[in-house]
Amino acid sequence: MKEINASEFEKEVLQSDKVILDFYSTECPPCEALATKFEDLAGLYGKDIKFIKIFRQQNRDLAEKLAVKSSPTLLFYKNGKEVADRLTGGIKRSDIIRNLDSMIPVEKVAQIKSQIKPSVSEYDVIILGAGPGGLTAGLYLCQAKVNTVLIDISLPGGHVSTTHEVSNYPGFIEPQAGYMLSHNMSEQTKLCGTVYKVAVDITSVDLDKKEVVIDEYETVRAKKIVIATGTTPNLTGAPGEKELKGKGISYCATCDGKYMDGKDVVVIGGGNSAVEESEYLTRFANKLTIVHQFAKLTANKQAQDKVFNNPKISLLFDTEPRTFIKEGEKIVTEIENIKTKVRQKLTSDGVFIFIGMKPNIDLFRDKLELDKWGYIKTDEDMRTSISGVFAVGDVISKKYRQITTAVADGTIAAMAIAKELD
Ligand SMILES: Cc1cc2nc3c(=O)[nH]c(=O)nc-3n(C[C@H](O)[C@H](O)[C@H](O)COP(=O)(O)OP(=O)(O)OC[C@H]3O[C@@H](n4cnc5c(N)ncnc54)[C@H](O)[C@@H]3O)c2cc1C
């Protein structure tokens, strides 16, 4: 592995056979998450592919010339030409391996794979999921000197990291940008000493043995497990939705709202998320239509008032989407009034869907006692139906799902665990 600067790019990258190039920055949590994977893979693939790092902040001109817009960004070169997809953000080991494998002969890939040695690490507690619930459990456990590892399939932060503004988290007079709140929560837990294994693939989870296998070869064992895996947005199920996800249909206003400057937007849903995110979207959008299946909004009164007083927002009640079709740059949403059965078409530049959530329990669905909606049942100390397995946050069966309630659950589970381990 080698660190270069822009003046060496021509020789070290363009004149080399095969190269993986990491544009990294400091004070960049996803760069830190990538660093150990990069080093580990350099040990495996380093004889066949050059592993090069370049500090983006000190090599801005080159980064701009190569259209590198975020850190980290991984670029792959073969004989001076860029090959394979660029990787950015919370980069998974499996995605890097896929790209590296595509650059070398199949026999070589098999040879490298045969050298991979499975590893085993042991902790007191494994926390699955690094949203507010998992991060708080991690903080309390760490402060109680319990050896804890946080494992997340993505970067830390959970839903908060993509919420534009949080105005109801106690301790802050002004509304906080969601990404800053989640960043601070994550840094506080990390600084305490909790081990992070993030942006990983979870190969298997054995709740009875308290064993999690990540990235195929790494087994992580503990005495207790805390499930803090949160929820995933529901889909409408209308034809075209899956195909247009990320191509005009979005589930995250913070992520995609900024591309709606002066545009027409359709929002599906009528609960708090739909209404609050609609209000936010009108910072950019010219016109916004909320399509809601019931006769009244289900959001709280305060949020409803904002929408009713916003001249950019119009509402269609008793209406559901039937199909989503892309026509050029536009999305045509066919909607149906469920009372009159009359259908009409709404043409917009983007569709945002906020119609509730489903719990992330696919890896342990068959093992745990669940409520009728699939959320994990717990007792008042957050214990599940399996001994030594706790669950916290949005993934558990409860009435109110907020950052504060997830944080409270994480606190309770951590205190109960610390006491049990004592
Ligand atoms: C659009 C929107 C706006 C919101 N606004 C507010 C607000 O203003 N105020 C408020 O209090 N609440 C708000 N909420 C709710 C709040 O974000 C959640 O209640 C809170 O984030 C729940 O925390 P959590 O830790 O349980 O789960 P999450 O935040 O969902 O985090 C779960 C974590 O688990 C990870 N994960 C998923 N599956 C796995 C797996 N198999 N293995 C390992 N890790 C996994 C995910 O990557 C994620 O990092 C909002 C929610 C949304 C969707």
| Residue, of 418 and 116, whose pLDDT is higher | 418
Tell me the CA–centroid distance for residue 319 and ligand 1, in Å.
28
Is 214's pLDDT higher than 80?
A: yes
* Nearest alpha carbon, ligand 1 atom 4: 163
When pLDDT is averaged across residues 199-217 and rounded to a whole number, the result is 95
**Cα–Cα distance, 276 to 300 (Å, whole number):** 10
Query: Under a CB-based contact definition with an 8 Å cutoff, are residues 17 and 77 in contact?
Result: no
Among 119-128, 181-190, 300-309, the least confident range: 300-309
pLDDT in tens, 88-131: 999 999 999 999 999 999 999 999 999 888 999 999 999 999 99
Asked whether the predicted pLDDT for residue 184 surpasses 90, the reply is yes
Let me know: does 86 contact 74? Beta carbons within 8 Å: yes
d(CA 133, CA 21): 35
Q: How far is CA 211 from CA 185, 224, 369, 383, in A?
A: 26, 9, 19, 17
- Residue nearest (by alpha carbon) to ligand 1 atom 53: 159
Q: Give, for ligand 1, the residue of 279, 403, 411 to mutate: max count of ligand atoms closer than 8 Å to Cβ.
A: 403
The string of pLDDT tens digits covering residues 51-78 is 999 999 999 999 999 999 899 999 999 9
Closest ligand 1 atom to residue 277 Cα is 1
Supply the pLDDT for residue 168.
87
Question: Is 149 a pocket residue for ligand 1 (Cβ < 6 Å)?
Answer: no
Q: Does the beta carbon of 153 sit less than 6 angstroms from any atom of ligand 1?
A: yes
Looking at residue 246, its pLDDT comes to 75
The best mutation among 126, 155, 159, 405 to test binding of ligand 1, ranked by most ligand atoms within 8 Å of the C-beta, falls on: 159
Does the beta carbon of 136 lie inside 6 Å of ligand 1? no
Of all atoms in ligand 1, which is nearest to the CA of residue 405?
19
The rounded Å distance from CA 324 to ligand 1 centre is 27
Q: Are strands 264-268 and 350-353 parallel, antiparallel or unpaired?
A: parallel
Q: Is the pLDDT of residue 255 over 80?
A: no
Calpha distance 129→156 (Å, rounded): 8
Query: What does the block give as tokens for 109?
Result: 């890939």
Q: What is the mean predicted confidence (pLDDT) over 367-373?
A: 93
pLDDT at 258: 82
Q: How confident is the model at residue 193 (pLDDT cuts 50, 70, 90)?
A: very high
Q: What is the pLDDT of residues 72-100, one digit of tens each?
A: 999 999 999 999 999 999 999 999 999 99
| Atom 7 (ligand 1) nearest CA | 166
Mean pLDDT of the chain: 95
Taking residues 383-405, report their average pLDDT: 96
Is the CB of 231 within 6 Å of ligand 1? yes
According to DSSP, the residues that pair with 237 across neighbouring strands are none
Distance 234 CA to ligand 1 centre (A): 14
Q: Is there an atom of ligand 1 within 6 Å of 202 CB?
A: yes
Query: Which ligand 1 atom sits nearest the alpha carbon of residue 134?
Result: 25
What is the mean predicted confidence (pLDDT) over 287-292? 98
Residue 159 Cβ inside 6 Å of ligand 1? The answer reads: yes
* Residue having the nearest C-alpha atom to atom 8 of ligand 1: 166
Q: Check residues 163 and 4 and name the one with the higher pLDDT.
A: 4
Answer yes or no: is the C-beta of 348 below 6 A from any ligand 1 atom.
no
Q: What is the mean pLDDT of residues 168-195?
A: 94
Which amino acid appears at position 64 of this protein? E
Q: Is the pLDDT of residue 369 over 90?
A: yes
CA diameter of the chain: 69
End-to-end CA distance of the chain: 44
Is 386's pLDDT higher than 80? Answer: yes
355-384 mean pLDDT: 94
Provide the pLDDT confidence category of residue 245 given band limits of 50, 70 and 90: confident
Q: Is 129 in the pocket of ligand 1 (CB under 6 A)?
A: yes
Tens digit of each residue's pLDDT (9 = 90 or more) over 7-43: 999 999 999 999 999 999 998 889 999 999 999 999 9
How much of the chain, in percent, has pLDDT values that exceed 90? Answer: 86
**Cβ 189 under 6 angstroms from ligand 1:** no
Residue 165 has pLDDT above 90, yes or no: no
What per-residue confidence (pLDDT) applies to 137?
A: 98
Residue nearest to atom 29 of ligand 1 (CA): 158
The answer to whether the pTM exceeds 0.95 is: no
The pLDDT value recorded for residue 90 is 92
Tokens representing 48? 């066949």
What backbone phi and psi angles, to 5 degrees, belong to 167?
-110, 5
CA distances (Å), 24 to each of 86, 170, 256, 307, 344, in order? 14, 34, 24, 42, 49
pLDDT band at 247 (very low <50, low <70, confident <90, very high): confident
CA gyration radius for the chain?
24
User: Is the pLDDT score of 383 beyond 90?
Assistant: yes
| pLDDT, position 166 | 85
pLDDT at 320 over 90: yes
> Of all atoms in ligand 1, which is nearest to the CA of residue 233?
53
